[in-house]
Structure 1
Amino acid sequence: LAEAIDCPLHLGVTEAGALRTGTVKSAIGMGSLLWAGIGDTIRVSLAADPVEEIKVGFDILKSLGLRHRGVNIIACPSCARQGFNVIKTVEALEERLAHISTPMSLSIIGCVVNGPGEALMTDLGFTGGGKGSGMVYMAGKPDHKMDNDHMVDHIVELVEARAAELAATQAAELAAAE
């Protein structure tokens, strides 16, 4: 149909279910079509707060690389090697960084086994190292150590500073182009 007609196609999974199951169904149903280049608009329908529908829809587009806005957090699952509580840290960072609209990647990895490799590919990163501290990475390179107790506040400060830098650069480039 997408190839046969010249009009926008709207995608949606009508009432996919509750927040968790509906998110999975919507991501699979719409994601596979969007990945194939089919679809112009989407609607996520959940038996949940309508704000969650918007968040899920945006996260689907962001995961597919179709929208670039905000901080994309790459994190590891929980395991015995973690030097800090990754799950609680990621939850806190998602909440505290929700206001950032500048596209940026952030890795939060609990150990030194996988952390350095993930941090190489992100704008900012934190890797657990044991003994109550970890390494902060800037643009893929080890930069400085930070204790776990102050890590969330420090990462928020770094992300906000980097977002302000990028916004200033973009504004300067726009001014120069005019």
Structure 2
Amino acid sequence: MDIYIPIEPVMTETKELIELQPYRAAYYKAVGGKGRKWHQVKKEAFAVMIKWALAQGFDSSDLRIRVHNNGGAAKEEFYYEVHMDITEAVSVKGDSQVSLGDCEGGSFVVTPALHRMLEPTSRAFCRWLEQQEMYIMTGKCFEEFLIQDGKVELDTVVRIHFGAKRAGESE
């Protein structure tokens, strides 16, 4: 008997260099630790930010949420940060879980992925960045989830951002 398992290829052919200007963002940080599963913390972070954005009147068909995390170490405290650009007046009450803050911009090399392929695409993209000679990594990185209809699903499009500068550029 032969068993065939479909394998989805990792696509990192599409890459672009973008310049992000400093921006104001709404921000939430979910924290976990021993006994709290990684997916619970991630789900909490998205739920809080999406609920807040929808309460502010943001268009639910086109939410962009930026994500940074430090991994899901089982014995240590870990976190999952989510933030989104704000370009209009928003309300953050004293009892809100969401706060406002300023974020620095910078140059980033970006490639798209699907949420279900985020880890293998990110690894392949990172390997590509390390092996090529056009860009030098700066250490910054985040993912940008393009959320449709207020939900994060396996088919959610994600844009992976690695901080970079062109080789030969000064700081």
Q: TM-score, normalised by structure 1?
A: 0.29
Greater strand share, 1 or 2? 2
Q: Which has the larger radius of gyration?
A: 1
Q: Which has the higher contact order (CA 8 A, sep 6+)?
A: 2
Greater helix share, 1 or 2? 1
